Amino acid sequence: CAGAVKLWLADSGECLRTVETRGVVIHSAFCPVGARMLSAAPDGATELWCVDSGRRLLSFATQAPGGGEANAGGGAGPDNDSDTSEDSAAEPGVVCAALSADGDQVFTASANGLARLWSTAAGDSF
């Protein structure tokens, strides 16, 4: 089931950008610095988007099925626009995701108690 994140102008109510996601979105955030949006899904898919182009910049995944370690989908770097497959590793049951005010860090927390702080420049967790 596809989902979407929409960015609205508060003063006019105009929809500025719609970004299509792989599935249902439970959390989203906006950072005006660098014009970035964050989306997080219950399947663990957490993605960083460019507001201007609508392009996915990074996909964050923190735990592979069976507990193995995984990295940010498709490699690191803010210009990574590689597609993340439906089979990609993802943090199970994301319950919270946030984007720092400067757009440099992403926080994810899951139902299994795993919390991570990610660098949007490198695509890895601290």
Nearest to 46 by CA among 54, 56, 55, 34: 56
Residue 67: predicted pLDDT: 44
Burial class from Cβ neighbours inside 10 Å (0-12, 13-18, 19+) for residue 13 reads: exposed
Of 111, 114, 93, 3, the closest CA to residue 44 belongs to 93
Which has the closest alpha carbon to 47: 6, 97, 109? Answer: 97
Residue 9 has which token pair?
Answer: 């102008």
Rounded to an integer, what distance in angstroms lies between the CA atom of residue 33 and that of residue 50? 11
76 vs 21, higher pLDDT: 21
36-87: per-residue pLDDT in tens? 999 998 888 899 999 999 999 999 874 433 444 333 443 333 344 444 333 3
What is the tens place of the pLDDT at every residue in 24-36? 888 899 998 889 9
pLDDT score of 63:
47
Instruction: Write down the pLDDT at residue 92.
Output: 62
Least confident of 1-5, 35-39, 84-88, 92-96: 84-88
DSSP 2-24: -EEEEEE-TTT--EEEEEEESS-
pTM of the model: 0.72
Q: Is the dihedral of CA 122, 74, 5, 92 positive or negative?
A: negative
